[in-house]
Structure 1
Amino acid sequence: MLHDKYVEATSEKERQMKENAMLRRIHCQHLTFHKKLAAASAAEERERRREREEAGQEEPTKEPESDSSSDNQRLEMKPITADACYEVIRAAYTEVRKFQRSRDLYTSNAEVLGWTHRYRLEGEKLQYSICKFFPGRSAEEISDRGWAVMTNESSYKALHSRGLTSNLYDIQTVNDDNRVFCRELQRPGQNTIMKALLLMSRFQTGDGYMTVYRALDHDKFGFTGVDGPGRSGTDLMMNSRPPASVVWLDMFAWTSFESCSDGSGVDFQFGGEMKHFSADNAKFWMMEVLLMALRWESRTVAPLITLR
């Protein structure tokens, strides 16, 4: 009797695993379709803009005026070329591999919901990576989902803690796999806005996929930032706090998706480097990185827990 139930349960498990694999393949196909559709739409819009500029006249736009004026603000920079993106990618990939192969990493034995972390201090920089294995998944599938989350302004903002002010502005789409954003972060209780003109690039590696997030020289590209909504005179009189200072960060982060040779799943790593300045600053950002990873997992892999 028990043997029959065990056989039945095993058969049902195999059936559901096959069904889940099929659903994941279908979902991956839908993601690819939407990605191509978005790229085609962006290319069509760029072509229309070019035609309007050549004709010397502005055509009415179907988008809200606020979005249009915001886009005009954001495009005031020297465009980056695909060749320049590839140069950034090559250098970043070399740095990532150097870190991954390093033998002087401190490894924590503690696990938080399956996540482990490694880090090392190099001068004023804290280099880190947090890792987790996702069974029954493909590297391409998680890479595509992660890209969709990280390149969307609202979903990227939702990855951060509520007390942290975060903004992501779309600046330039070079091609399907290379995009430029302006990222802004502000810690609670601090009057400093940390900005970065950020290149997000994804590419295939020998054993999976990788995405790099590399700060560009904003002065080189003539980019001064995205102006936020101004404050009225009344607001300024009521708020005695001085305007926030701006610090441009040399940010570097990356995600790696490596498929296991036996097809059992994906080894995922989220790493990067930051200036630690102080123990308090390093502790705050490492906790924020872990919370981001948990929220990222809930959005791209499967719901985990609700973090507020």
Structure 2
Amino acid sequence: MEPNENVELPELEPVVAPLTAEEKQARQRLHVRRTYYRKLHRLQTLRTEVQQLEAQYQQLVDRNKLMEACAFVADLPEFLDEKEYQKHLRLREYQEVSGLQTRLQQQNEALQAAVADYDQYVEYVKTLVDTEQGWSKYSSSSSDETESPETRLSSVLNQSPVVIPTLRAPLTVEYCRQVALQRYEEIRRIRESPDALSTGASVFGWRDKRHHDKDLVNFYLTKTFPDISVEQLMVRGWNYLSAPRHMASLYSASITPQIFMVQRVDADTVVLMRVFSSADGNSLIRSFYLASRLRIPTGYCVIYRSLDNSLLAPYQNPPGIQDRWVNYNTWVTMEHVGERGQSCALSFGGEVHHALAAMSHAWMIEVLYIVMRWESLVVGSRVVIENGGTS
């Protein structure tokens, strides 16, 4: 996603009177957008400076080559001395090697960009295939003889009727962008908070942090993947972060949810519904949320943000089935690290109610399993995390 970096936003006027809730929200959205585009403008300015410096360097190299050619033609005296002449030859060879290195580096970058475009096209085709197949992993594709007990249990749970409501009206790209940017600003403040706590433990490279905020605990797990670029990891992992059938496969078999596509807004934004069913199928726990991929100054951020249920059209469950709605607010960041930005620091975070965090650590273990399954599928891990646990 490449947002317009030249967007002109109105200035924030001084507050002269108490603001209504709607005015506060509008002011906050404008502030978030201004901050976002200010960072993009700064990034573009730095890119322009790099291009100018490279152009100046090339001009100096060309001018030096021209002066050397003139010196040979004019047969200047300083080249008649053997030592100076040998020194000049070595300098010229070094310049030629440096020029060759620069050309090869540019060619390598062009090839990497071509490979990235190819990988992105492959993932796009996979997305189209998934959409054509209904985004459902629950259409049986294997025989009963090859099904594991966990798969049969999941199939039984998923046979309960689930009504998926439609939207009253399709969500616009601009609306989804504002929701995602506002949430990203909240995430940025959480990550920059000096009050974050950590157990100090490292589980297969994953380290934890958490931040207490009133009734919520904001948590995130972080791991650095050396020599895997942000673009490579995003191309490989986006399908597992946005396609329902891939997302459902990340959960343990005992709690495997059904995830449905409500709307595909664009290539970077989808609206989803996640449903957990009770064993008898009479109780459904629903989450209605946005999944949006943002380009940020340091890489990418994938936002999962709960949406207002009033956006859904009225619907009717089968008799005896009750709904309970829960919020789903998580996020994933992929950021450039390393001297040349060749590596990727990945963070997976979210929020959980303080009471749940205090009563049990099972939720954190499940979160760790989810990120490790994602790592195993996208990156390839030495540890295989199966749907039932570890092996």
Normalization by structure 2: what TM-score? 0.57
* Unmatched segments (≥5 aa) in structure 1: 1-20, 46-61, 232-242
- The within-5 A match list for 1:127-166 is 127-166=218-257
Native 8 Å contact 2:276 2:284 kept in 1: yes
**Shift in Å at residue 220 of structure 1?**
3.0
Residue aligned with 1:147, SS:
helix
> Which residue does the alignment assign to 2:207?
116
Q: Which amino acid aligns with 1:94?
A: E
**Shift in Å at residue 155 of structure 1?**
1.7
How many aligned residue pairs are there? 255
RMSD in angstroms over aligned alpha carbons?
3.9
User: Which residue among 181, 203, 210 is the counterpart of 2:294?
Assistant: 203
Distance 1:138 1:174 in 2: 27
> Which residue does the alignment assign to 1:16?
none
**Shift in Å at residue 140 of structure 1?**
1.4
Native 8 Å contact 1:165 1:187 kept in 2: no
Distance 2:128 2:368 in 1: 35
Q: Any idea what the Cα deviations from partners look like across 1:130-158, whole Å, max 9, x if unmatched?
A: 00000010111112222111222222111
Identity, in percent, stands at 24
Distance 1:41 1:160, change over 3 A: closer
> Which residue does the alignment assign to 2:179?
88
Distance 1:104 1:35 in 2: 39
Q: Any idea what the Cα deviations from partners look like across 1:155-200, whole Å, max 9, x if unmatched?
A: 2111011111311101101111011110123588998533111110
Residue aligned with 2:253, SS:
coil
Native 8 Å contact 1:168 1:183 kept in 2: yes
Report whether the alignment pairs 1:255 with 2:348.
no
Distance 2:247 2:382 in 1: 18
Q: Any idea what the Cα deviations from partners look like across 1:230-258, whole Å, max 9, x if unmatched?
A: 79xxxxxxxxxxx5642212221100001
Q: Any idea what the Cα deviations from partners look like across 1:91-124, whole Å, max 9, x if unmatched?
A: 1111110011001111121110010000122222
Native 8 Å contact 2:269 2:293 kept in 1: yes
Q: Which amino acid aligns with 2:238?
A: W
**Shift in Å at residue 306 of structure 1?**
2.3
Native 8 Å contact 2:165 2:312 kept in 1: no
Distance 1:38 1:133, change over 3 A: closer
Distance 1:303 1:128 in 2: 23
Distance 1:183 1:289 in 2: 16
Largest Rg, 1 or 2: 2
> Which residue does the alignment assign to 2:122?
34
> Which one has more relative contact order, counting CA pairs under 8 Å at least 6 apart?
1
Distance 1:112 1:204, change over 3 A: same
Distance 1:28 1:38, change over 3 A: same
| Greater strand content | 1
Distance 2:381 2:110 in 1: 19
Report whether the alignment pairs 1:266 with 2:344.
yes
Distance 1:39 1:278, change over 3 A: closer
**Shift in Å at residue 90 of structure 1?**
1.5
**Shift in Å at residue 36 of structure 1?**
4.2
> Which residue does the alignment assign to 1:292?
370
Report whether the alignment pairs 1:221 with 2:312.
yes
Report whether the alignment pairs 1:106 with 2:205.
no
> Which residue does the alignment assign to 1:306?
384
Distance 1:27 1:113 in 2: 29
| Greater helix content | 2
Distance 2:116 2:370 in 1: 23
Residue aligned with 2:287, SS:
strand
Report whether the alignment pairs 1:283 with 2:365.
no
Distance 1:188 1:304 in 2: 34
